[in-house]
Amino acid sequence: GGAAAPHSVSWRWWIVSDSEVAYLSQAYPRGTPSVVHPVLQCSHCDTVTFPGTEAGLVTMVDGGTRMVARTGRRMYERDYRAVTKHASVHCEGTPLTQTNVVLYESDVDTLVALVPQSPEVLDSELDGLGITSSFQTDLDDAVVAPHGLFPRPIGLRPPSPLSSGSLSSELLARFAFLGKLVAQALVDERLLDLPLAVPFLRLLRGESLLGNMALALEHIATVDPQLGRSLQYLYDHRHDASIDDMGLTFVLPPSSMPLCDKGADRLVTTDNVVEFLDLTATTMLDTAIRPQVDAFRAGFASIAPLHVLTMLSAADWSVLLADPSRQMWPGGADEIRAAMVCDHGYTMDSRAIEWLVDILAELAPDDQRLFVRFVTGSHRLPMGGLARLDPALTVVRKLTVDDASSSTANDAILPSASTCTNYLKLPDYSSKDIMRTKLLYCIHEGQLSFHLS
C-alpha cells in the first residue's frame, strides 16, 4: 500500500508471515476501499505486523496520532512487540517502527493471492545470489534426497541435464545459499529441518570419503542403498566370470554419465571391475560433487568461520540439523510441568492439566513434533527445548459458546491454539481418552488450518 502523508516512507521490502496475511484478509473491513492503518515494522529484520484484535484492524484517529481498536480501546506499539514473529531471533521483543499506511482493499486481495506463490526467502535476496524465485524448482536435479540430502553428480540425468554454464551456476548458487542458511541459523540460534546426508556432512567438514573401497561403498549405500548393494555385489564377486556377461559399461549407474573417455562403449569385466568401482566412487563422492561442496562451504564462510564445521562430528551435525527421532521433551512429564504455564481456568493441579501432561509425555516423537507445530507454528523447539520457548507454553480453559460447563458440551468441542503466543486452549473434557482423541485429531488434521480463535 502507499504511505499516507505526511509519513511517506520508502520500504526496502516487507517480510510478512503467511499467518499475518491470513489475519489481514480476515480483519480488513470488506466493502471499504481503503483504510489508514498503522503498520509496524522491525527496522532490523524488516518483519511487518498489522496491528489488530479479533474485532478487526486497528485504525488511526485524532489526525493519525492514536491507535484505536474496533472496540474503542486505545492500542500502543508496545502491545505488539511480544507477538511479532521476527525473521531474526535477535529482534524479538524490540521496539517496532510505526508508519501510517493507506491499505487498499485491492492490495490486500493481491497480497493474499501472492502468498501461495511467495518463496520462503525474498526474491531480492535470492537475486543477489544469482537464484531465481523458484528456489525449489527442479530440486530433484540438485540432490538425492530419499536418505538425506546429497548432491546429485553434475551431469547426472534425469530429469534434465546439469551441465556447465548458467544452469550449473544457478545450481552452485543454491548450494551457496544453503551454506548461508545453515550459518545464519547458528548465529541466530535457530533450529532447521534440513536432513543432510551424513556423507555430505563429512565432506563439508573437509573429510575425504575415498581411500578405502569398503568405506566408500558404505558411504554410497548410505545415500543410495539400492546402488550401494549393487556395487557391493560387484566388489564381493570381482573375480567371478559372470561379471563379463552382465553387459555393464563404464557409466555412472543408473545414469548415462561416462566415467571415462568413451565409457559407454567400454565393457566392465573381471579384469577392470575394480577400476570401474573406483571411478564410480571417485565420481559420485568427489569429482562430480566437489563444486557443490565448495559452494556450500563458501556460503557458510560468508557468515561464520569454516572451522565451526569441524567443531561437531558429522553425526552430531545430522542430529542438530534434523533429527526426526529426537524427543521434544526428553525429560518427560517433569520437563513439561516445569515449562508449562496454566491460566484462565486452569492450575497445575487441575485434572485436565494432569491428563494433558500424561498425554504429551506418552506421544511418539512424530506426534510431539506435530503438537509443537500446532501450538507454536514451528515443528522444532528453540535450542534448550521447551524451557526456552518464549512466550512459554500456556494452557487455558476453552469454554463453549454459551459458557456451558456440562461434560457433553465440553466433549463436543476441539482444542485450538494461538501460535502467536504459544497458547493452547483446552476444553475441560470428561475423560483422558476423549482428550487424547480430540488432541490427536487436531494436531494431525489442523496443521494447514488458520482461523481467528
Distance CA 153, CA 408 (A): 60
| SS3 at position 300 | helix
Distance CA 107, CA 182 (A): 34
Distance CA 169, CA 163 (A): 9
Q: Maximum distance among all alpha carbons in the chain?
A: 92
Kindly tell me the burial class for residue 217, based on how many C-beta atoms sit within 10 Å of its own C-beta (0-12, 13-18, 19 or more): buried
CB proximity list for 221: less than 8 A, separation 6 or greater: 227, 228, 229, 231, 232
Distance CA 118, CA 135 (A): 10
The cell 511487518 sits on which residue? 48
C-alpha to C-alpha distances, 17 to 112, 120, 395, nearest whole angstrom: 11, 9, 24
Q: Can 42 be counted among the known catalytic residues?
A: no
Q: Which residue in the list 42, 91, 342, 420 is annotated as catalytic?
A: 420
Instruction: List the one residue out of 250, 252, 229, 223 whose CA is nearest residue 156.
Output: 252
Q: How many CA atoms lie within 13 A of 259 on its CB side?
A: 25
**Bridge-partner residues for 249, per DSSP?**
267
The cell 535450542 sits on which residue? 383
CB 51 within 8 A of CB 152: no
* Catalytic residue set: 420
